[in-house]
């Protein structure tokens, strides 16, 4: 028997204080399609990036086609025959789609690209995938689905011995998924090894031969598809009760705090209508790129919108004016806290006091003493574990950074908190502290709009789940009716109407008030 295409044993990897992988293992045989499943944060993407040469492992065995491998760049892994389709497309918007596929290895020679052949080969690839994309058009402006098709075409053209697909179907329609599967089966029959990462179990069972489960950065099990079931896999993936991790306690739901009517921004989102009440946590679910963050940014006023209305406690919130949103009582914690929410080079106190700076300054001068005085009580309340308030925020762990960001906004005493991916990049242990904090805030009567890609987090924390698909709200599901299946279905079907969902977005959401924990 030939050597396994890919062998990973006991692989570990840490990013600072966060242990992304503890002991991950995966063995892929040639001529098979191997499913890799696990919750978000289980370490699948990190494992893939080690194989792809983006990250380097800290320890463990890594073999490719029977030979020891250790890639320090993506070029090395590519040369060794690894093709990766990443979750989020990585394209060159200014270049045409054919160049995007063949960049760096265009047909012809290094000093003479054969453009006619390049366009012909791209057209042939698109035909094989059954899509109508003009090989000469720029990648700019392609839909997410078409971008994903482009990634697939790129990977296929590499003629690799190992093809890794990280949620390739997330943005694809049924027809396109079928075509992709046909191609994947062809590649398998040619003797290549394929790794398929997906959250859609029907696809895993339809396409794959073997399935490996990961949880919290560790290998759990490997089975052949024929000998297992969806229930068995889910049990292994979760391995614990959802309630343990996500302690949302029932809170009294009060009046409408945030009222969004018909919000539209061309190309981003369309006719978005929803409400958030006091004491309520509303989860905004959907695929990456569906427009959730864009909606949040528009509500807060960072971005503009072409039609619609946002009001807080009945008073209209000015459009495209974050300052008036803050003074109206909205707090916004963006997705990438290092980039957008936290001055990482600044001290904890400066970060916390930053928002209310004008109120603290005397004669226009802001002193460190005044900053420390204002920040002290808040950081203490949130149990931010920093030795001193003048410690630099960059040196703290992800969980503590997130708490500093939350503290920063609590100083303004907001009525509505919008939080985008509250626990991204945070250790499993620290996650529950952030969750408890959010739950407490809701208990004190704050309205919370939470965007999250982690389904268990949405299902565990949210009183109500709004699902966004391609810029539209496709479902509004009350807590006790929300299941991974109906949320995922709504997230992938723009036409809406999900069985079991209370679709009341337009009529207001009075019926989803009574929430049981």
Partner 1 sequence: MSATLVQPSKAGLLSTILRSRELAIAVVLVALVLVATAKTESFLFSADGWRNVLLNPAMLVVLAIGQACVIITRSVDLSVGSTLGLTAYFAGRLFIDFPSLPIVVVVLLAVLLGALLGLVNGVLVSFAKVPALVITLGTMYIYRGIFLTWAGSSRITADQIPRSFSQLGTQQIVTIPVLTIVALAVLGVAAYFLSSTRPGRELYAIGSDPDAADLYGLPVLRRVLLAFVASGALAGLAGVMFLARYGTVSSQAGQGIELQAVGAAVIGGVAIFGGSGSALGAAVGAYLLVTINSVLPILGISDFWQQAVVGALILGAIALDRFLSLRQDAALVAARDQAPPSGGGGSPGNPGSSAPSAPTSPQVTA
CB closer to partner 1 out of 106 and 453: 106
Segment 149 to 168, residues that bind partner 1, using CB under 8 A: 149
Stretch that binds partner 1, among 24-32, 88-96, 207-215, 228-236 (CB under 8 A): 88-96
Residues 6+ apart with CB under 8 A from 395: none
Please tell me the total number of residues recorded for the chain in this structure: 517
CB closer to partner 1 out of 267 and 314: 267
Which of 44, 57, 248, 270 is in the footprint of partner 1 by CB under 8 A?
270
Residue 175 is a binding residue for partner 1 (CB under 8 A): yes
Write down the least CB distance from residue 45 to partner 1, Å.
Answer: 13
DSSP 250: P
Which of 1, 67, 68, 110 is in the footprint of partner 1 by CB under 8 A?
110
Which of 134, 190, 336, 480 is in the footprint of partner 1 by CB under 8 A?
134
Write down the least CB distance from residue 74 to partner 1, Å.
Answer: 4
Stretch that binds partner 1, among 5-13, 143-151, 193-201, 243-251 (CB under 8 A): 143-151
Count other C-beta atoms under 10 Å from residue 491's C-beta.
Answer: 24
Stretch that binds partner 1, among 102-110, 349-357, 386-394, 432-440 (CB under 8 A): 102-110
Residue 174 is a binding residue for partner 1 (CB under 8 A): yes
DSSP 3-state assignment of 149? helix
CA distance 364 to 368: 13
Which of 14, 27, 40, 74 is in the footprint of partner 1 by CB under 8 A?
74
Write down the least CB distance from residue 75 to partner 1, Å.
Answer: 3
Residue 75 is a binding residue for partner 1 (CB under 8 A): yes
Closest CA to 462 of 262, 238, 269, 279: 279
**Side-chain-facing half-sphere of 304: CA atoms under 13 Å:** 3
Cβ atoms of residues 202 and 174 within 8 Å: no
CA distance 340 to 342: 6
Residues touching partner 1: how many (CB under 8 A)? 48
> Which residue's entry shows tokens 């694809």?
172
Residue 53 is a binding residue for partner 1 (CB under 8 A): yes
Residue 94 is a binding residue for partner 1 (CB under 8 A): yes
Per-position b or e across 60-95, b if 16+ CB within 10 A of its CB: bebbbbeeebebeeeeebbebbbbbbbbebebeeee
CA distance 166 to 470: 20
CA distance 470 to 287: 9
Residue 495 is a binding residue for partner 1 (CB under 8 A): yes
| CA-to-CA separations, 405 to 90, 349, 399, 408, in angstroms, rounded | 29, 11, 10, 5
Cβ atoms of residues 198 and 181 within 8 Å: no
Segment 322 to 381, residues that bind partner 1, using CB under 8 A: none
Stretch that binds partner 1, among 173-181, 249-257, 273-281, 352-360 (CB under 8 A): 173-181
- Residue 82: in which H helix or E strand, if any? strand 82-85
Stretch that binds partner 1, among 33-41, 137-145, 330-338, 405-413 (CB under 8 A): 137-145
Stretch that binds partner 1, among 62-70, 78-86, 275-283, 433-441 (CB under 8 A): 78-86
Tell me the longest C-alpha to C-alpha distance in the chain.
80
Residue 385 is a binding residue for partner 1 (CB under 8 A): no
Residue 124 is a binding residue for partner 1 (CB under 8 A): no
Residue 91 is a binding residue for partner 1 (CB under 8 A): yes
Interface with partner 1 by CB under 8 A: which residues? 53-54, 73-79, 86, 90-95, 99, 103-106, 110-113, 115, 131-134, 140-143, 145-146, 149, 173-176, 266-267, 270, 470, 493-495
């Amino acid at each position: 028997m030939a050597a396994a295409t890919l062998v990973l044993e006991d692989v570990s990897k840490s990013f600072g204080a966060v242990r992304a992988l503890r002991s991950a293992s995966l063995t892929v045989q040639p001529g098979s399609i191997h499913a890799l499943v696990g919750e978000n944060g289980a370490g699948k993407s990190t494992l893939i990036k080690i194989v792809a040469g983006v990250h380097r492992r800290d320890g463990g065995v890594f073999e490719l086609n029977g030979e020891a491998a250790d890639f320090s760049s993506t070029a090395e892994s590519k040369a060794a025959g690894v093709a990766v389709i990443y979750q989020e497309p990585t394209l060159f918007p200014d270049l045409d789609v054919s160049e995007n596929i063949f960049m760096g290895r265009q047909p012809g020679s290094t000093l003479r690209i054969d453009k006619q052949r390049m366009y012909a080969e791209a057209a042939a690839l698109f035909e094989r995938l059954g899509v109508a994309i003009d090989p000469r058009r720029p990648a700019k402006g392609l839909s997410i689905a078409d971008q994903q098709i482009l990634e697939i075409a790129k990977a296929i053209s590499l003629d690799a011995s190992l093809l890794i697909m990280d949620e390739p179907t997330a943005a694809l329609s049924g027809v396109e998924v079928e075509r992709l599967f046909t191609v994947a089966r062809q590649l398998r029959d040619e003797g290549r090894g394929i790794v398929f990462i997906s959250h859609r179990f029907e696809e895993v069972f339809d396409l794959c031969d073997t399935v490996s489960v990961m949880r919290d950065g560790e290998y759990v099990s490997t089975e052949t598809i024929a000998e297992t079931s969806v229930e068995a896999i889910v049990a292994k993936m979760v391995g614990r009760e959802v309630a343990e991790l996500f302690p949302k306690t029932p809170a009294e739901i009060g009046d409408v705090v945030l009222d969004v009517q018909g919000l539209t921004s061309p190309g981003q989102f369309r006719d978005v209508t929803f409400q958030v009440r006091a004491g309520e946590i509303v989860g905004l679910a959907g695929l990456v790129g569906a427009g959730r963050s864009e909606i949040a940014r528009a509500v807060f006023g960072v971005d503009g919108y072409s039609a619609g209305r946002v009001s807080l406690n009945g008073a209209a919130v000015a459009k495209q004016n974050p300052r008036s949103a803050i003074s109206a009582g909205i707090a916004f914690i963006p997705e990438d806290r290092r980039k957008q929410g936290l001055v990482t080079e600044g001290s904890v106190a400066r970060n916390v006091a930053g928002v209310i700076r004008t109120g603290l300054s005397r004669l226009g001068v802001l002193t460190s003493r005044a900053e420390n005085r204002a920040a002290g009580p808040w950081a203490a309340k949130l149990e931010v574990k920093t030795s001193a308030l003048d410690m630099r925020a960059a040196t703290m762990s992800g969980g503590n950074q997130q708490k500093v960001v939350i503290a920063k906004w609590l100083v303004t005493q907001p009525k509505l908190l919008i939080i985008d991916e509250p626990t991204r990049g945070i250790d499993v242990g620290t996650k529950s502290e952030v969750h408890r904090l959010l739950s407490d805030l809701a208990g004190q009567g704050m309205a919370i709009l939470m965007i999250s890609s982690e389904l268990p987090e949405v299902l565990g924390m949210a009183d109500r789940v709004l699902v966004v698909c391609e810029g539209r709200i496709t479902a509004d599901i009350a807590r006790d009716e929300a299941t991974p299946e109906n949320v995922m279905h709504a997230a992938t079907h723009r036409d809406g109407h999900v069985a079991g969902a209370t679709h009341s977005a337009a009529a207001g959401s009075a019926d989803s008030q009574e929430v049981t924990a």
